[in-house]
Amino acid sequence: MNFAVLIPILLVYMGIMSWLAYYGYKKTVTESDYLVGGRNIHPAVMALSYGATFISTSAIVGFGGVSAAHGFSLLWLAFLNIVLGIFVAFAIFGTKIRKLSLNLNATTFPTLLGKRYDSKFITVFSGCMIFILMPAYTSIVLIGGGRFLQESMSMNFNLALILLASIIAIYVVTGGIKAVMYTDAFGAVVMLIGMAIFLFVTYQAVGGIIDGHSGLSAMKDLVPQALVDQGHQGWTSMPEFGSPLWWTIVSTIIMGVGIGVLAQPQLAMRCMTVKDDRALYRSVLVGGIFIFFMTGAAFVIGPLSNLYFYENTGEIALTAAKGNVDLIIPIFINQLMPDWFIYLFTLTLLSATISTISSLIHVQATAFGQDILKTLGVRSLFGSKLSPSRIGVLIGVIAAVILAYLLPAGIIAQATAFWFGICAAGFLPALIGALYWKRATKAAATASMIVGFTVSIIGFLFLHLKEAAAIGLSQSLFGKATVLPFPWTHIDPLFYALPLSAAVFVVVSLLDKSTSVKKQAEKGTIVPAVSE
């Protein structure tokens, strides 16, 4: 790698990012500017920021590596990402979220739920769940960026983590959501160009679309026996129905992330930043095209890397990466692409890392400063001149770095599915009720959220094999890795936590007559009509 070329490119890139962050800082005057961009962000900027936040190194490096191991079955997740993550999230949920947040003067996701249900407990509880659990997701995005810099630039992994974390902390502390969204939009353009070129060159390297897919299909007998025993039927086929691998792919990766996107606090907040519904409708096309190229490309490139590695080294991708799926895409890029593309893709991965983590840290910071401390009446900490939200930035960054050292290898996709699934179980019924059901009550939302998060956490601790075995609590208490046998060991907790939390929400709402939305509206808690 020619560092004499790379370093000037990085300096130009960071100069542009810094200027955008400074521009966001200068435009950040009020608290509303810091939290929701003054509600006047351009729809294209919003869509690109949403996409860049959604598609991080976890999708490109983590899920790209997982698709290399498991095959094209992950393309179903790309389909759900576009249908639910863009169309439903913008045109259906997004318009309601924007209007409700405007009516209630809500500037964060927990505050939106708390004000809608007239409950400080819901605001604080939601903020706590975000502040406590989101660092697990933030850290794996940081790991993905660090691993790529380690492989592509021969940089020390520890140095890469600290460097990325420091850059992100500066952006978020100074400029708030405007700085985050402006840098996100620029990063999204870089990501789109990088992934489009990567997809084209990959197909070119394996002989084109037809030869590439047929060649990969012919490699079915090369699937490792351990994966065959789990239900793997080749990289161009779905796993055997009902097998352990089928449950993992469908329940955890496809459904966990595909449904969980609708209840992501950092994504829902983007819908609060635009001026009107038309802006959201205009965002659908931009967002859909971006997600199509990003997730679709990653989930095609991953499996095809097996054909490339086998034709050039005699090994499949998993073997070439020594069993660590998080290293497959970085190694593939280094072997396949010329130096100039590695420079471009370095910017792509930097953009993905910085955009996603800055958004996640911003949400964690506002959860700490606005949703928890401000709701509880705390305006400052230890006499500091920094606002609690900005102190929350520093805490969130430190937590992400610490977890990046503690989490095991090959964890990126797994931790992503964990966060998306647990958000769906904990937040989605209450969010849907807040937007669409007048009978939804405070007691129902409270019970549903507690049940959703509790059942999800119990599932990960005692039932779902990967997390339960890694944590070891079930082994310590009961002498076995999980308390129930297959298929519970491979069914994502989302599959039972979400239906249970939804059932609790509906039943309690129907039984609870004292705090219906109608009565709250009479007291002025909820504003039923939207004024813009």
Helical (H) or strand (E) element with 21: helix 3-27
Low-confidence ranges of the chain (pLDDT < 70): 1-3, 31, 34-35, 56-58, 152, 171-176, 380-386, 409-410, 412, 514-532
Place of tokens 């929701």: 36
Give the dihedral of Cα atoms 75, 499, 417, 44; nearest 10 deg: 70
- Cα dist from 189 to 54, 269, 355, 431, whole Å: 14, 21, 12, 31
Q: Are 64 and 331 in contact (CB under 8 A)?
A: no
8-state DSSP, 323: T
Domain extent, residue 329, equals 37-523
452 CB burial (10 A radius; 0-12, 13-18, 19+): buried
Residue 518 has a pLDDT of 53
Overall residue count recorded for the chain in this entry = 532
Q: Is residue 2 part of a domain?
A: no
Q: Is residue 484 part of a domain?
A: yes
Residue 28 has a pLDDT of 75
CA distance 109 to 441: 18
Please list, in sequence order, all residues whose beta carbon lies within 8 angstroms of the beta carbon of residue 508, skipping any fewer than 6 positions away: 441, 443, 444, 447, 448
CA distance 328 to 65: 5
Hey, CA dihedral for 371, 424, 272, 181, is it positive or negative?
positive
Q: Are 428 and 498 in contact (CB under 8 A)?
A: yes
Q: Is residue 20 part of a domain?
A: no
Q: Are 438 and 444 in contact (CB under 8 A)?
A: no
pLDDT, tens digit (0-9, with 9 covering 90-100), for 433-481: 999 998 899 999 999 999 999 999 999 999 999 889 888 899 999 999 9
Residue 520 has a pLDDT of 54
Residue 525 has a pLDDT of 47
CA distance 532 to 523: 22
Q: Are 111 and 370 in contact (CB under 8 A)?
A: yes
Q: Is residue 17 part of a domain?
A: no
Q: Are 306 and 68 in contact (CB under 8 A)?
A: yes
DSSP string, 136-152: HHHHHHHHHHHHHHHHH
Residue 301 has a pLDDT of 96
CA distance 31 to 11: 31
pLDDT, tens digit (0-9, with 9 covering 90-100), for 96-128: 999 999 899 888 899 999 999 999 999 999 999
- Cα dist from 216 to 12, 236, 298, 308, whole Å: 40, 7, 16, 9
138 CB burial (10 A radius; 0-12, 13-18, 19+): buried
Q: How many domains does the chain have?
A: 1
> Measured in Å, how far apart are the chain's first and last C-alpha atoms?
54
Q: Which amino acid is at 91?
A: A
Residue 175 has a pLDDT of 57
Q: Is residue 26 part of a domain?
A: no
Residue 344 has a pLDDT of 78
Q: Is residue 284 part of a domain?
A: yes
Please list, in sequence order, all residues whose beta carbon lies within 8 angstroms of the beta carbon of residue 520, skipping any fewer than 6 positions away: 118, 442, 526
Q: Where are the alpha helices (DSSP H) in 206-224?
A: 209-217
Please list, in sequence order, all residues whose beta carbon lies within 8 angstroms of the beta carbon of residue 340, skipping any fewer than 6 positions away: none
Nearest in space to 292 (alpha carbons), one of 47, 70, 96: 47
Nearest in space to 49 (alpha carbons), one of 36, 58, 66: 36
CA distance 64 to 299: 6
pLDDT, tens digit (0-9, with 9 covering 90-100), for 395-415: 888 888 888 888 776 676 777
Task: Output the pTM of the full model.
Answer: 0.85
Give φ, ψ of 165 to 5 degrees: -65, -40
CATH number at residue 80: 1.20.1730.10
Residue 239, preceding peptide bond in cis (omega within 30° of 0): no
Q: Is residue 305 part of a domain?
A: yes
Residue 528 has a pLDDT of 42
pLDDT, tens digit (0-9, with 9 covering 90-100), for 241-291: 999 999 999 999 999 889 988 999 888 888 888 888 888 898 988 988 988
Residue 527 has a pLDDT of 43
CA distance 432 to 53: 22
Q: Is residue 431 part of a domain?
A: yes
